[in-house]
Amino acid sequence: MKEPARVLVVGGGCVGMNTALHLQRILKRDEARVTVVDPEPYMTYQPFLPEAAAGSVSPRHVVVPLRRTLPGCQVVTGEVRAIDHAGRTATVATLATHEEGAGAVEIHYDELVLAPGSVSRTLPVPGLADHGIGFKTVEEAIGLRNHVLEQMDIASSTRDPGIRDAALRFVFVGGGYAGVEALAELEDMARYAARYYHNISPDDLRFVLVEATGRILPEVGADMGRYALRELRGRNIDVRLETRLESCVDRVAVLSDGSRFPTRTLVWTAGVKPHPVLAATGLPLDERGRLKCAATLAVDGAEHAWAGGDAAAVPDLTAEEPGAQCAPNAQHAVRQAKVIAHNVAACLRGRPLQDYRHQYAGSVASLGLHKGVAQVYGRKLKGYPAWFLHRAYHLGRIPTFNRKARVLAEWTLTGLFKREIVSLGSLEHPRAEFELAADTGRYPEAS
């Protein structure tokens, strides 16, 4: 009897999880065994990170558990360190190998799907590694929410005007989706929270957005980008275009226009880069470090290897200009996953492959509660209609009915009750209180 084919999916993000989801639906158990490897046991739906940071959605509802969603697959919580595609072998370090002190394990495969996603792209800015805060994971989003509320607590309690000024100034670097949506949602939340502080008014808060190019939100088009710029500046947000962060040593943000801002909050959202594991595959990469792919989403020059999402340079067959490539966004990622799964199954069954072809529909962006911009199929929306479309679109795209229902329920409750403005910063260090009691004698024994 023929052994089932071994399909290895590297990455449990948008492309990886959706590919595995489709594979478990279309492949029979005697056809293939699908293994998914990711450092986390869940997929993060990143478009909801700004709302999680603002408290509109609980953090546990913006992640999709891989084991529950993929019961027909084997899920391995670990990190792929290297891939020998000629030998059809991946080297994986797991939590168990770390505890055992043993070397990484090898996973053998017949078909390889590479979807490790991307990591934050940082620059050698002095002080950035010491004081910068990222915004790519749910942990970073919730950590940033706690941090912003803690800074308001510091400002409310201090008598030092310098500390107060730095605590109430929040600098965001990067004017793309992540930067603008994170800033807009957190600014909305912070100004709401200010009403509960006796000595902080919304006008005391200072939000600064630093963007190296001459526009923000290029994905929604020039007109809607200009509207978003006016909307942010109308909310007293200081938007600096054609400006770069040059230093943030000692918690002082120094900009290329000569400005200096003492700040205790510096959020870095200035782009992403392909995951470093791609360089350890020996597969062909483009100048940006992404895998070169054909229209079928097969890796160029490598049989039985497939890729999509941020990790792949995929030709856009619907574009008018020659040589155009698909944008690395969630809209393409979800659809590419379906084509990858179809083609992996077709390859195993000896059937023709399908080209990936999707006409870009447009983009939507949130600018805080009841505010947004959108350009969809040539139509331009702003304000409440764009915000509603943003929520409706992403509610439809987040995987599983379970998560859709939970997010919708939370939005409904948020509309009926007031915002939650509690900082749970201690969650990041759960043993701190016990260590303090055990080691410092903070709680003296009764005599």
Residue 126 banded pLDDT, cuts 50, 70, 90:
very high
Give pLDDT, residue 330.
82
> pLDDT of 197-218, one tens digit each?
999 999 999 999 999 999 999 8
Mean pLDDT, all residues of the chain: 90
Length of the chain: 447
Backbone angles phi, psi at 433, to 5 degrees: -65, -45
Integer Cα distance of 313 and 168 in angstroms:
41
Q: Among the listed ranges 132-136, 143-147, 340-344, 427-431, which one has the minimum average pLDDT value?
A: 427-431
**Contact at 8 Å (CB) between 291 and 114?**
yes
Residue 425 banded pLDDT, cuts 50, 70, 90:
low
Give pLDDT, residue 446.
52
Q: What pTM does this model have?
A: 0.88
10 Å CB burial of residue 367 (0-12, 13-18, 19+) is: buried
Own/partner pairs, 147-151, CB within 8 angstroms, 24+ separation: 147/265, 147/425, 148/186, 148/189, 148/190, 148/265, 149/190, 149/193, 149/421, 149/422, 149/423, 149/425, 150/423, 150/425, 151/264, 151/265
**Contact at 8 Å (CB) between 394 and 408?**
no
